[in-house]
Chains A and B, each alone.
Chain A
Amino acid sequence: MDYFLQQLINSLGWGSLNALMAAGYTMTFGIIGLVNFAHGEVMMVGALTAFWVMVFLQLPFWLGCLAALLGSIVVGLLIERIAFKPLRGAGMISLFITSLAASFGIRTLFIMLFTDRVKPFPVPDFLKGVLLLGNLILFKKTILIVLLTLFFCGLVIYFVKYTKTGAAMRAMSYDPEIAGTMGVPTERIIVVVFAMASFLAGLAAIFWGIKFGSVRCSMGVIMVVNAFIASVLGGIGNVSGAIVAGYIIGIGETLFVAYLPDHLVGLRPLFVWIVLFVLLIFKPSGLFRPNIK
């Protein structure tokens, strides 16, 4: 039982990363029908920016975090402007292929420039210790990651549900044309949504660095597959659904590995595909209602 609880606690950090990425992923799908495979690269660029600021420029941790958020937001908005904006009104397949191209392009460029070697992500001392809860070990960094994730996810849900921009997002997810003719400035809303999604990816980048102590140029690939499957599981376009599903996927994956025999641990990536497989057979619309909610 202790082993199970310990694994469950350990999995919360990874669950948080999945939740943050899935939330951003599902938002862009909700408003422009975009399956954004470049979202993983948005996170990666944030992580690499933080690495550059903290390791090369030797600046403090908090500046690194700020740089990660800015880096992600800038690259997210650039991708939107350069790759997706010219395709407004085009079908889902065109957008999908473009996002794949953007993802490959950015990743390959970064690997060419900086190689795919693991890069250190300095974690400050106050995040390094553990707390003991009976027989269970709680990592301080995990506590911070979970609390901040829940806080920012709550903020995003509140924003989508109650603000006027949120109302505009919901109207757009239902029908962008009608939203436009009802006075919703659709282009501005798209920019806001990409900025929000990229901000969440930037947070995920910081948390990845804190959790693993390192970052690399190919980190986005793993993340985006999980985010994609979590957003489908959560009912695509549904932000709170994606957050819950992100935790389900992250926790499930960690527990899956925890109970695998040691020589099969390499099968870790299989977990999400099994989830997707089962989902598509039994509940293809996801656990929760699709569309931005």
Chain B
Amino acid sequence: MDASVPRNKAQDPILRLQGLSKRFGGLEAVSGFTMTLERGELKGLIGPNGAGKSTLFHLISGLYKPTKGNFFLEKNELTGQTPDKIVAKGIARTFQTVKLLENSSVLESMRTAFFMSYGYKPWDLFFHTKRYRRQEEAFKEKAHEYLSLLGVQDLMDMNGNELAYGLQRKVSIAMTLCLNPKILLLDEPMAGLTHTEKNELTETILRLKERFELSIILVEHDMKVIMNLCETIAVMNQGRLIAEGSGSEIRNNAQVVEAYLGTSDV
């Protein structure tokens, strides 16, 4: 019996979505969405514009409260929790549009992400106590480390908002690493990047996944990226999960083709 417990635990999915729904007035943006994410899995989430992918991310990150359904991280139910609690439990996300703090350095933007791990008090700051200096050192070291993983460590003191789009995106991914995530939700991280940048970022994502033992859901429009990167692909249309499987299964799925191209008899 003792042996069976850890084995079962290892097989439990890390994230479980059960019939998640979100209704805005007359529109059901996400509708009865059920899906699981295994530990260490990299799942691609695709679907036409307006399929509800971003809404689903908003639900999982706590920005929206689901109208129906619930979701679990490991054994913990997270339904209805606030974004900061969900982040603290280990689900971090990026946004489609990158927003770094205005007129602040990259380092300052990253400081926000360290909010929860700050341990010093205002007086430590005022008197520049040892505790303050130690934490500042640690913070800068971590920030530098995470930025290096994305190859943007030289930008630490630059104004975040003036960086090129692709670089801002990398910074925002580095920020999510500061949150010690178990699960990363990446919302179109490749949009607007050049071909080379996409290849680079693809490799980086794989590297981060290994290093931090992440489970990732990736929303992306570039099918090449999705096919290269993801072990499994989930397809969403009109708020529903219409197919899930490997790249070739998805490519040959009639419903998926229909969702993207429309039916032939229209």
Interface residues of A (CB under 8 A from B): 158-159, 162-164, 167-168, 170-171, 174-175, 177-187, 289, 291
Contact = CB atoms under 8 A, between A and B. Distances in A.
B61 to A, nearest CB: 5
Contact of B122 (A159, A170, A174, A179): A159
Given A178-B95, A180-B63, A182-B179, A168 B82 contact: no
A29 B85 CA distance: 25
A186 B101 CA distance: 16
B149 interface: no
B127 interface: no
B179 A183 contact: yes
Interface in B107-153: 108, 111-113, 115-116, 118, 120, 122, 125-126
**Ordered nearest first, which 5 A-B pairs have the shortest CB separation?**
A180-B83, A183-B116, A171-B112, A185-B84, A183-B87
Nearest to B95: A178
B99 A178 contact: yes
Contacts of B84: 180, 183-186
Contact of A186 (B82, B99, B116, B120): B82
A163 B115 contact: no
Interface in B139-179: 175, 179
Contact of B87 (A163, A175, A181): A181
B105 to A, nearest CB: 13
A180 to B, nearest CB: 3
Contacts of B61: 181
Given A181-B83, A183-B88, A167 B63 contact: no
Contact of B125 (A162, A175, A177, A178): A162
A97 to B, nearest CB: 21
Nearest to A184: B115
Contact of B112 (A162, A167, A187, A291): A167
Chain A's interface: helix, strand, loop or mixed, by majority? helix
Interface in B192-227: none
B41 to A, nearest CB: 21
A176 to B, nearest CB: 9
Contact of A174 (B93, B102, B118): B102
A163 B125 contact: yes
Nearest to A291: B102
A175 B97 CA distance: 12
Contact of A182 (B85, B102, B103, B113): B113
B62 interface: yes
A201 B112 CA distance: 29
B25 to A, nearest CB: 14
Given A174-B99, A175-B99, A178-B99, A185 B82 contact: yes
A219 to B, nearest CB: 33
B33 to A, nearest CB: 20
B92 interface: yes
Contacts of B104: 170
Contacts of B85: 185
B159 to A, nearest CB: 14
Given A163-B122, A185-B84, A168 B115 contact: yes
A182 B175 contact: yes
Nearest to A179: B112
Given A182-B175, A291-B102, A167 B82 contact: no
Nearest to B185: A181
B53 to A, nearest CB: 16
Contacts of A183: 84, 87-88, 112-113, 115-116, 179
A6 B126 CA distance: 37
Given A164-B118, A182-B113, A182-B175, A174 B101 contact: yes
Contact of B101 (A163, A170, A181): A170
Interface string B67-87: 000000000000000111101
Contacts of A164: 115, 118, 120
Given A159-B122, A175-B99, A182 B63 contact: no
Nearest to B83: A180
Contact of A181 (B63, B108, B120): B63
B83 A186 contact: yes
Nearest to A162: B125
13 contacts: A162-B125, A163-B122, A164-B120, A171-B101, A177-B83, A178-B99, A180-B83, A181-B93, A183-B87, A183-B112, A185-B84, A186-B82, A186-B84
